Structure 1
Amino acid sequence: MDLLRSLPLGLYLEEPITWLHKLDSRVKFVWLMSFLSTYIFANTWWRVILVFVLIFITLISGIPRRVWQQQMGYLLSICFLVLIIASLSPDGMGIDYQPRLPANTQVVNVPSSQNSQKNPILSIFDSQEYNYVLFARGPVKITRHSFDLAVRLSTIFFTVLYSTTLYLLTTAPEEITAGIESLMQPLRRFKIPVTEIALTLTLSLRFIPLVLEEIQNLIRSVMTRAINWKKLGLKGVVKVWMMVAERLLQNLLLRADQMANGIVVRGFIGSNKHRVQWHHLRLKSLDWVAIIVLILFWGMRFAIGNEVN
């Protein structure tokens, strides 16, 4: 099991250089925030559209199939499982559904030929029946409210996880921090340590692959010992994994201490006295095209994505 290859969370793809790599980090960050914010107060159709837009961007981005195929497959499988479980779960409304008319009320049925001649609109409404319960067979029942909640939950799960993963996959950690620091420059007037926040973010992004590597090494070390889990029992299994978690914490603290010592040895005094510019941010023609598409994206959100109460 190779976590760094099967689930490349937070890892940067250095090669090949796609058009997503060439976009300015600030433009990509605004796009990421747009994916996460347009979801708020949106209807069900817009939430599904966001999922298809992310898949479409991945297909046309030029990212190798081996990088995203397994990861997207796992994520789509989990979202589909969440959709099924949430659809079959009770909707929580607690309503007893009863017919509007009493059982002994007699309704006079007008022949369809006379009905269509007198009022042609009435025949159209008669053919459109509204059913709150979409599917009911035995103990299984799917209502409109439960299905709507299932779609909302599964789509937000995919949108949040995959949009951030795609952003980290095509943007270097130093470029991310440089873009966020550039966007946060107005906050300097309020004496907010923008550079320190950017440095902390850089170290955090650099630390994610180290965490995955430590987890991978510990899992391999446990698998190579050929432990008989059935003989250990539940208490023994919990004890083994607690020891693994303790070892993982020790290794991560050791890596953090080594990283801090490396910064001190290199003479880091302060953010204002020791600065290295990795990327010179400048908007290019491709970035302006992405900004125009972003404006159209928000226009479609307000045109077709508003939730109707």
Structure 2
Amino acid sequence: MDLLRSLPLGLYLEQPVTWLHRLDPRVKMAWLMSILVTPILASPEWRFFLVLLLLVLTLSARVPLRVWRQQMGWLLLLSGLVLLLTMVMPDGLVVAQQPRLPSPAEISQLTEPFETLPPLPQPTGYQYVIYDRWPITITQRSLELGIRISTLLFTLIYGTNLFLLTTAPEEITAALEDVMAPLRWFKLPVTEIALTVTLALRFIPLVLEEVQNLVRSVQTRAINWKKLGFRGSAQVWLQVVERLLENLLMRAEQIAAAMAVRGFTSPDEHKVEWHRFVLRAWDWFALGLLAVFWWARLVWGGEA
């Protein structure tokens, strides 16, 4: 399945097994939520630190270059474009303001002209407008907004992708079930939710495989799209989409039949333990670093 191998995001790396693979999925989930939450109301220095932290984690885990080179390149390019576009965009609404001082023409009409005062020295070197060359104007506000959006975009996408890259789907769902265990007190079907998430994650490769097979079947027929026109092309793609839905429903029915044949009636009665979660020494060490991480965010990472 070439489409599955060429997807840049959301793949699980089975080999080689890195130290991120060996961490408890609950610990990795706690780190992921911390990385996604701490940029809120954080300083630009902290946001750059999160980007650097994700890069250091990728390099220290020795993730193969072929795995993250493509996605890292496209993501850095996207974040850079967002940063540049946000910097040069206006940082507010254009509002017509009334000048506080009279115009030169009004001053000339006065009998006693105002005495011009020399410019006062500024106490600091702060300037709101950083760069002003028509038609580009970069201000402190636009630069800060560009840093916020670009770093948040990179952290959100790459942090989640690194978690999916080093955590198996079964581990994710089992960790979710373990984290949501207190919700059983409110009569919520936690096990059913975990089973649904597991089946959804396992169904995604089947969807991609069906899409790839239908696209290849259309390509092998050498259809002359120019001769068909817009209406004919739309009818062909509607038939392809209809066939895709039929194949997916057939796959879902086959999965349901396979579960029924094996006597599966409910998740609580036929629960399969894929993983037994035990916090080891390196897991406790990672939790200790997480506490230091939050302490640094509260002390140094807040907005000035």
* Number of residue pairs matched by the alignment: 294
Q: Counterpart of 1:108?
A: 118
Q: Counterpart of 1:285?
A: 281
Give, in angstroms, the shift of residue 192 of structure 1: 1.1
Q: Counterpart of 1:20?
A: 20
**Structure 1 residues 170, 101: CA separation in 2 closer, same or farther (over 3 Å shift)?**
farther
Larger Rg: 1 or 2?
2
Specify the code of the residue in structure 1 equivalent to 2:63.
Answer: I
Give, in angstroms, the shift of residue 240 of structure 1: 4.2
Specify the code of the residue in structure 2 equivalent to 1:291.
Answer: L
**Matched residues in 1 for 2:51 and 2:158: separation?**
9
| Greater Cα offset, 60-69 or 41-50 | 41-50
Q: Counterpart of 2:127?
A: 130
Structure 1: unaligned runs, 5 residues or longer: 111-121
Q: Counterpart of 1:63?
A: 63
Give, in angstroms, the shift of residue 280 of structure 1: 0.7
- The answer to whether the Cα contact below 8 Å between 2:169 and 2:198 also exists between their aligned partners in 1 is yes
Give, in angstroms, the shift of residue 156 of structure 1: 2.0
Q: Residue 196 of structure 1: which of 192, 195, 208 is its match?
A: 192
**Structure 1 residues 151, 284: CA separation in 2 closer, same or farther (over 3 Å shift)?**
same
**Structure 1 residues 245, 266: CA separation in 2 closer, same or farther (over 3 Å shift)?**
same
**Matched residues in 2 for 1:303 and 1:203: separation?**
42
**Matched residues in 1 for 2:7 and 2:199: separation?**
21
| Greater Cα offset, 291-300 or 234-243 | 234-243
- The answer to whether the Cα contact below 8 Å between 1:181 and 1:194 also exists between their aligned partners in 2 is yes
**Structure 1 residues 109, 271: CA separation in 2 closer, same or farther (over 3 Å shift)?**
closer
Query: What TM-score does the superposition give when structure 1 sets the normalisation length?
Result: 0.84
**Matched residues in 1 for 2:221 and 2:36: separation?**
44
Q: Counterpart of 2:149?
A: 153
Specify the code of the residue in structure 2 equivalent to 1:77.
Answer: L
1:189-230 CA-partner distances (Å, limit 9, x unpaired): 111111111111111111222223233333333344444445
**Structure 1 residues 156, 97: CA separation in 2 closer, same or farther (over 3 Å shift)?**
farther
Determine what percentage of the aligned residue pairs are the same residue. 55
**Matched residues in 1 for 2:194 and 2:93: separation?**
46
**Structure 1 residues 26, 243: CA separation in 2 closer, same or farther (over 3 Å shift)?**
same
**Matched residues in 2 for 1:91 and 1:232: separation?**
48
- The answer to whether the Cα contact below 8 Å between 2:48 and 2:151 also exists between their aligned partners in 1 is yes
Q: Residue 259 of structure 1: which of 255, 261, 267 is its match?
A: 255
**Structure 1 residues 3, 142: CA separation in 2 closer, same or farther (over 3 Å shift)?**
farther
Specify the code of the residue in structure 2 equivalent to 1:254.
Answer: M
**Mapping 1:68-87, distance limit 5 Å:** 68-87=68-87
| Match status 1:209 vs 2:193 | no
Give, in angstroms, the shift of residue 160 of structure 1: 1.6
Give, in angstroms, the shift of residue 34 of structure 1: 0.8
1:58-108 CA-partner distances (Å, limit 9, x unpaired): 111121111111121122222222223333333343345898877767233
- The answer to whether the Cα contact below 8 Å between 2:84 and 2:146 also exists between their aligned partners in 1 is yes
Specify the code of the residue in structure 2 equivalent to 1:209.
Answer: P
**Matched residues in 1 for 2:242 and 2:97: separation?**
54
| Match status 1:42 vs 2:39 | no
Specify the code of the residue in structure 1 equivalent to 2:161.
Answer: T
Give, in angstroms, the shift of residue 258 of structure 1: 1.9
Query: What TM-score does the superposition give when structure 2 sets the normalisation length?
Result: 0.85
- The answer to whether the Cα contact below 8 Å between 1:218 and 1:244 also exists between their aligned partners in 2 is yes
**Matched residues in 2 for 1:151 and 1:244: separation?**
43
| Greater Cα offset, 88-97 or 151-160 | 88-97
Specify the code of the residue in structure 1 equivalent to 2:146.
Answer: A
Specify the code of the residue in structure 1 equivalent to 2:118.
Answer: V
**Matched residues in 2 for 1:86 and 1:231: separation?**
43
- The answer to whether the Cα contact below 8 Å between 1:7 and 1:71 also exists between their aligned partners in 2 is no
Q: Counterpart of 1:119?
A: none
1:209-266 CA-partner distances (Å, limit 9, x unpaired): 2223233333333344444445555555544444433333333222222222221121
1:167-201 CA-partner distances (Å, limit 9, x unpaired): 11111111111111111111111111111111111
**Structure 1 residues 190, 304: CA separation in 2 closer, same or farther (over 3 Å shift)?**
same
**Matched residues in 1 for 2:139 and 2:228: separation?**
45
Q: Counterpart of 2:52?
A: 52
